[in-house]
């Protein structure tokens, strides 16, 4: 034994055993909701030196990062990035879905056993309901653990893991099962859930007491650069197909007041569609670092920060709009300010930062149609699709009695209504096949698959693997369908949720401790983030992690 230990010591002294690499004082995971990979290059000439450019030039840039699954929704991406698994395993198949057992719609972070913490009775002189949210949130529906969970399990109570976002699902799913806190915004307040704490910390209460969200009432949102710069890159300000949600209109400038002369609940809907919400988010993130002393306590802490407003703006105006360009430029400036704050408070050289997005977005179909009549593009008529499938079932098996419906529609899938197959004595496989074949006859449908085929792994075609990675046997419906490229299931604006490049290609930037700087052109997946980050932290990856280590 003595000889063995002496040999180890000699090898170490000779350099055969390397010194354990330093661990970061703080990990910062930054997600930008609805941020296509091409935004970095497209809008990059107008970025400042301290935001995206700082991360890219001093860190690692992966130029071909993609989600591997098909249903690219916000919750799915936020659940994937730190678990290292796809929806087939982590179970978050969409933002919400219809439960197979009850046929009731559930939200991905709903928790009936929890209550919202932090909502007031009155605010800013406006008489508002005391309970502005009807649900509280927790990670109970997430079926996998995160890197943050592994950090807590391995290091005990010392490290802190905190999720912060405008959306509850973004903060909750990034934080994981063992997060110390998840904070999000609800109608002018920073709130949380009893799943994390019984009351807000005093410093959060003080933050809310300043009413800094209400202070944005009637503020004007205008472009940060001359209009000509936007027109050169993305075209006209008012483009066909854009929405006009919350009284914000389709052109600049925009007055954020909800269309009212005084503060009413409509203001918060307008605020949701403005970059000012991100400004408050970054202000709060700084407060989290300050008051929780993240990265300053001799242990590795983790802050998960998700910018949600980019998604609201993107949905309304589309990726080729003045609004999306402007909020992207503003996000770059806010990122620069936050990085400068971290550098002053902790030191960026002591941090590990990873930045990515949860999905991209389709171009407005009207834009595609205007550019070429030879490209199939349009807006999905979900009512016509449902009627086509119901008619096919009536024809195959006879109409249902009493005006019953065969199907329960759920985004990009159908479920069979309770009892209808038993009533008609129809085998599930036969009924699924009828619906699948009916879907395939509709002009905007690219492909459809039955539950039976997905259970058997019998899925073929260009997106077969992506389809199966989105299929969760307990939660996915009876027939899944995929729309064709450039077809959008909204009346105005755009959407996401497909396996096409404009939805799955997202940026991936790494910076700091454990990162090998450079530009990497090989294709990687967002599910590679978790095992890579675990390696940097000297942790085992989350146990179900499927990705690979990048450095």
- Domains along the chain? 26-367+499-536 (3.40.720.10), 381-443+445-483 (3.30.1360.150)
Confidence of residue 245 (pLDDT cuts 50, 70, 90): confident
- Bond before 253 cis per omega within 30 degrees: yes
Show the tokens assigned to 317: 């105006």
Show the tokens assigned to 331: 């996000």
Average pLDDT (481-493) is 97
Average pLDDT (463-481) is 98
What DSSP letter does each residue of 49-77 carry, written as one string? TTTHHHHHHHSEEEEEEE--SS---HHHH
The DSSP letter of residue 193 is E
d(CA 310, CA 319): 10
The DSSP letter of residue 406 is S
Average pLDDT (396-411) is 95
Asked if 192 and 182 touch (Cβ cutoff 8 Å), the reply is: yes
Show the tokens assigned to 194: 């009893």
**What share of the chain has pLDDT > 90, as a percent?**
90
Q: Are strands 378-379 and 487-488 parallel, antiparallel or unpaired?
A: parallel
| Residue 53, C-beta contacts closer than 8 angstroms, at least 6 positions apart | 44, 47, 332
Q: What pLDDT does residue 121 have?
A: 53
Show the tokens assigned to 429: 């496989």
Confidence of residue 19 (pLDDT cuts 50, 70, 90): low
Cβ atoms < 10 Å from Cβ of 223? 17
Q: What are phi and psi of 490, to 5 degrees?
A: -140, 150
Q: What pLDDT does residue 127 have?
A: 44
pLDDT in tens, 294-319: 999 999 999 999 999 999 999 999 99
Show the tokens assigned to 426: 């129809």
Q: What are phi and psi of 219, to 5 degrees?
A: -75, 150
* Range name among 89-98, 116-125, 192-201, 536-545 with the lowest pLDDT average: 116-125
The DSSP letter of residue 160 is -
d(CA 241, CA 365): 8
Whether 147 has a pLDDT exceeding 80, the answer reads: yes
User: What spatial distance separates the first Cα and last Cα of the chain, rounded to whole Å?
Assistant: 35
Identify the helix (H) or strand (E) that includes residue 454.
Answer: helix 451-456
Dihedral angle of Cα 527, 531, 536, 542, to the nearest 10 degrees:
120
d(CA 305, CA 312): 17
pLDDT in tens, 149-163: 999 999 988 999 999
Asked if 533 and 27 touch (Cβ cutoff 8 Å), the reply is: yes
Q: What pLDDT does residue 75 have?
A: 98
Average pLDDT (272-290) is 97
Whether 6 has a pLDDT exceeding 70, the answer reads: no
Tell me the torsion sign for CA atoms 239, 245, 251, 252.
Answer: negative
d(CA 108, CA 96): 5
Q: What pLDDT does residue 13 have?
A: 38
The DSSP letter of residue 166 is S
Chain centroid to Cα 325, Å, comes to: 19
Residue with tokens 């605010």: 123
Identify the helix (H) or strand (E) that includes residue 207.
Answer: helix 202-209
d(CA 252, CA 94): 33
Q: What pLDDT does residue 11 have?
A: 36
Identify the helix (H) or strand (E) that includes residue 152.
Answer: helix 147-155
Identify the helix (H) or strand (E) that includes residue 28.
Answer: strand 26-32
Q: Is 400 helix (H, G, I), strand (E, B) or coil?
A: coil
How many Cα atoms within 13 Å fall on the side-chain side of residue 358?
37
pLDDT in tens, 120-140: 654 444 444 444 444 689 999
């Amino acid at each position: 034994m003595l000889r063995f230990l002496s040999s180890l010591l000699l090898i170490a002294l000779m350099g055969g055993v390397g010194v354990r690499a330093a661990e970061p004082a703080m990990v910062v995971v930054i997600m930008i909701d609805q941020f296509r990979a091409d935004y970095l290059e497209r809008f990059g000439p107008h970025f400042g030196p301290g935001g995206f450019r700082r991360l890219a030039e001093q860190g690692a840039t992966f130029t071909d990062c993609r989600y591997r699954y098909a249903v690219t929704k916000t919750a799915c991406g936020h659940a994937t990035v730190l678990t290292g698994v796809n929806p087939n395993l982590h179970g978050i198949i969409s933002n919400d879905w219809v439960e197979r057992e009850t046929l009731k719609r559930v939200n991905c972070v709903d928790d009936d056993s929890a209550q919202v913490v932090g909502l007031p009775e009155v605010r800013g002189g406006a008489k508002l309901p005391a309970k502005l949210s009807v649900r509280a949130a927790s990670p109970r529906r997430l079926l996998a653990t995160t890197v943050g969970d592994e950090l807590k399990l391995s290091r005990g109570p010392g490290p802190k893991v905190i999720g912060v976002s405008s959306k509850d699902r973004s903060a909750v799913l990034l934080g994981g099962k063992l997060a110390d806190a998840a904070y999000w915004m609800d109608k002018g307040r920073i709130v949380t859930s009893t799943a994390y704490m019984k009351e807000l910390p005093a410093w959060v209460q003080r933050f809310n007491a300043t009413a800094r969200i209400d202070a944005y009432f009637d503020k004007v949102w205008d472009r940060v650069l001359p209009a000509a710069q936007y027109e050169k890159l993305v075209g006209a300000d008012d483009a066909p197909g854009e929405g006009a949600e919350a009284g914000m209109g389709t052109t600049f400038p925009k007055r954020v007041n909800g269309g009212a002369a005084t503060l009413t609940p409509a203001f918060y809907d307008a605020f949701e569609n403005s970059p000012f919400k991100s400004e408050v988010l970054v202000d709060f993130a700084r407060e989290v670092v300050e008051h929780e002393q993240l990265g300053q306590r001799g242990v590795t802490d983790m802050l998960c920060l998700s910018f949600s407003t980019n998604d609201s703006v993107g949905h309304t105006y589309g990726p080729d709009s003045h609004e999306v360009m402007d909020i992207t430029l503003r996000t770059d400036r806010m990122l620069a300010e936050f990085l400068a704050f971290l550098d002053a408070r902790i030191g960026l050289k002591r941090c590990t930062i990873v930045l990515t997005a949860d999905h991209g977005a389709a171009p407005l179909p009207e834009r595609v149609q205007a550019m070429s009549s030879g490209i199939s593009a349009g807006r999905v008529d979900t009512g016509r699709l449902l009627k086509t499938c119901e008619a096919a079932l009536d024809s195959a098996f006879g109409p249902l009695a009493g005006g019953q419906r065969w199907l329960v529609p759920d985004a990009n899938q159908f479920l069979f209504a309770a009892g209808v197959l038993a009533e008609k004595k129809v085998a599930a496989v036969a009924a699924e096949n009828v619906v699948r074949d009916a879907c395939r006859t509709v002009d905007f449908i690219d492909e459809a698959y039955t539950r039976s085929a997905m259970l058997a792994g019998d899925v073929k075609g260009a997106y077969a693997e992506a389809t199966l990675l989105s299929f969760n046997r307990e939660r996915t419906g009876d027939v899944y369908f995929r729309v064709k490229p450039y077809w959008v299931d909204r009346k105005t604006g755009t959407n996401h949720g497909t396996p096409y490049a404009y939805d799955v290609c997202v940026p991936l930037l790494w910076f700091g401790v454990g990162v090998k700087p450079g530009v990497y052109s090989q294709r990687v997946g967002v599910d590679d983030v978790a095992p890579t980050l675990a390696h940097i932290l000297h942790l085992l990856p989350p146990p179900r992690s499927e990705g690979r280590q990048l450095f």
